[in-house]
Structure 1
Amino acid sequence: MKWLQRLPIILYLGINSTYAATVKVYAAASLSSALNDISKLYQKQYPNTKIIGVYGASSQLAKHIEARAPSDLFLSADQDWMQYLIGKNKVQANHVHLLLSNQLVLIQTKGKPIAFQPSAAFNFAQSLQGRLCTGQMESVPLGKYAKQSLSQLQWLSSLKGRIVEADDARAALAFVERGECRLGIVYKTDALMSHKMQIVGAFPTNSHHPIEYPIALTRQGQKNKAAQQFSQFLQTNAQVKLIFKRYGFLLPDKSLG
């Protein structure tokens, strides 16, 4: 809660009086690297606009927006937290569009990969031989997807006491990189970014809900012309699409609105 109280100060530290407009983007941690590159690209084309990114778990960001933290755009790592803000009247349903999708993978540090078969017949608990890290399973999108897959594969109960739940997707990756967990369930995009990690295998897409990243202007953002322009830039610019693809994201064909 103390962090929430400091949030507006943290945001405004990045604002320079030379900028004519500012766009505050709240986005899932797994989007941070791609969005930082895109923000630099945008500010080269529109030097009078400052893009300020705030990254974290979609659950935490949604709660901050609900608590009236200044924000213009919300990019969630699942549909649930976007729907949550619609229910709180912080986002209008007709402003929500599907921006990207992702994949769920199992990772370990580089070396001889463990045995892995994504089927109920496979004894994953025995193959693990240590701890497994992912996001918080009741709130963080990554953890929710992981829980769905582990449940569908009938592995969850056998892993009781061996799962480490991180605050967001990037934190889950860091746990495995530091050797605090033998394996991790993370987004493919995060796995591809790490030079220390290797992908052991992918979880079947039918074992979890679709990993979708919706984007929407907040109520504040609807009044900010610069935010509207940046939102369109994210959804339509050809260079932006190439950046997302380079990081391993999948581009959908249709909007949700």
Structure 2
Amino acid sequence: MTTGSSTVARAGVAAFALSLMQLAPTMAGADEVTVFAAASLTNAMAEIEERFEAETGHDLTVSLAGSSALARQIQQGAPADIFISANPGWMDELENGGLLEPDSRFDLLNNSIVLIAHGTDAAPVEIGPETDLAGLLGDGRLAMALVDAVPAGIYGKASLESLGLWEDVEPQVAQADNVRAALAFVATGEAPFGIVYATDAAADDNVTIVGTFPADSHPPIIYPAADLANRDSEAENAFVDYLRGPVARAAFERQGFIVLDQ
């Protein structure tokens, strides 16, 4: 090898070493964050996951299911770092059990519940105490998330009870494990109608929103978020900050959520 070639080779090695040194802090600081999030956040969390990983170098693992199932998994020791629930009740239960980092809880989002129908040309329904929902169903079923456990089902049942409609339709309710499963029942035609969040309905072209349940017929639909008490890392703190930031806000708003001022 000539002297010139040796010089070039040494320069190349030096440049490679320098690049590794520059990357080392980022590589050393990379960490994994596991987020348990309500199934109704599926679309927004997919976008947030991709953007957060690209911008921070951290790995984000998102587990989506009904809030009740996720909360029970956390109680049983599941290795989650962040929890985003579709209602305050399950977050209350974890907080009362000492499973949240103190002062880390905040209200993130607001939503609404709607009546959906299969197809794209269903007629609108005016929802109120005089609505003949049972007659509208005929021999069909009303798809809902688990009415005593999953927030979307809890809100839906509360609204139907408030409007005096629950007793008539209860025998026709087909309960699903989570709100996305209830949405799928209607989207595939297994049930002619269902009750889901407005944001879920907007995510599927095979259903039509035919009516919105009055906001005063059910408790406010609030999504609280919190850092869980099992560990504390820079990556967790970075993700919580990201949830409060403009990129996440835009992702949530694109799916129809109302982002609450924090």
Larger radius of gyration: 2
1:224 maps to a residue whose letter is S
How far apart, in 1, do the equivalents of 2:30 and 2:242 lie? 18
Q: Secondary structure at the match of 2:144?
A: strand
Q: Does 1:116 align with 2:125?
A: yes
Q: How many residues matched?
A: 235
The CA deviation at 1:140 is: 0.4
In structure 1, the partner of 2:106 is 97
In structure 2, the partner of 1:184 is 194
| Per-residue CA distance 1:97-148 (angstroms, 9 max, x = gap) | 0111111001112244245221112222112222100110000000000000
What does residue range 79-90 of structure 1 map to in structure 2 within 5 Å?
79-90=88-99
Q: Please list every run of at least 4 consecutive aligned residues from structure 1 whose deviation after the TM superposition is greater than 2 angstroms.
A: 17-20, 110-115
Alignment equivalent of 1:32, drawn from 30, 42, 51: 42
| Per-residue CA distance 1:124-182 (angstroms, 9 max, x = gap) | 21122221001100000000000001001111101132001110011110111111111
Q: Secondary structure at the match of 1:174?
A: helix
Q: Does 1:164 align with 2:178?
A: no
* TM-score between the two structures when normalised by the length of structure 1: 0.88
The CA deviation at 1:93 is: 5.5
Distance 1:102 1:220, change over 3 A: same
CA contact (8 A) 1:115 1:127 kept: no
What does residue range 1-257 of structure 1 map to in structure 2 within 5 Å?
20-47=30-57, 49-92=58-101, 94-114=103-123, 116-129=125-138, 130-221=140-231, 223-235=232-244, 237-254=245-262
Tell which deviates more after alignment, 98-107 or 125-134: 125-134
CA contact (8 A) 2:37 2:63 kept: yes
2:43 maps to a residue whose letter is S
2:220 maps to a residue whose letter is P
How far apart, in 1, do the equivalents of 2:28 and 2:141 lie? 50
Q: Secondary structure at the match of 1:95?
A: coil
In structure 2, the partner of 1:5 is none
How far apart, in 2, do the equivalents of 1:61 and 1:154 lie? 31
> Identity of counterpart residues, as a percentage?
34
How far apart, in 2, do the equivalents of 1:115 and 1:42 lie? 39
CA contact (8 A) 2:81 2:227 kept: yes
Higher helix share: 2
Distance 1:94 1:150, change over 3 A: same
Structure 2 unaligned runs (5+)? 1-26
1:143 maps to a residue whose letter is G
Distance 1:19 1:53, change over 3 A: farther
CA contact (8 A) 1:116 1:127 kept: no
Structure 1 unaligned runs (5+)? 1-16
Q: Secondary structure at the match of 1:118?
A: coil
1:27 maps to a residue whose letter is A
How far apart, in 1, do the equivalents of 2:120 and 2:72 lie? 40
CA contact (8 A) 1:72 1:224 kept: no
CA contact (8 A) 2:121 2:208 kept: no
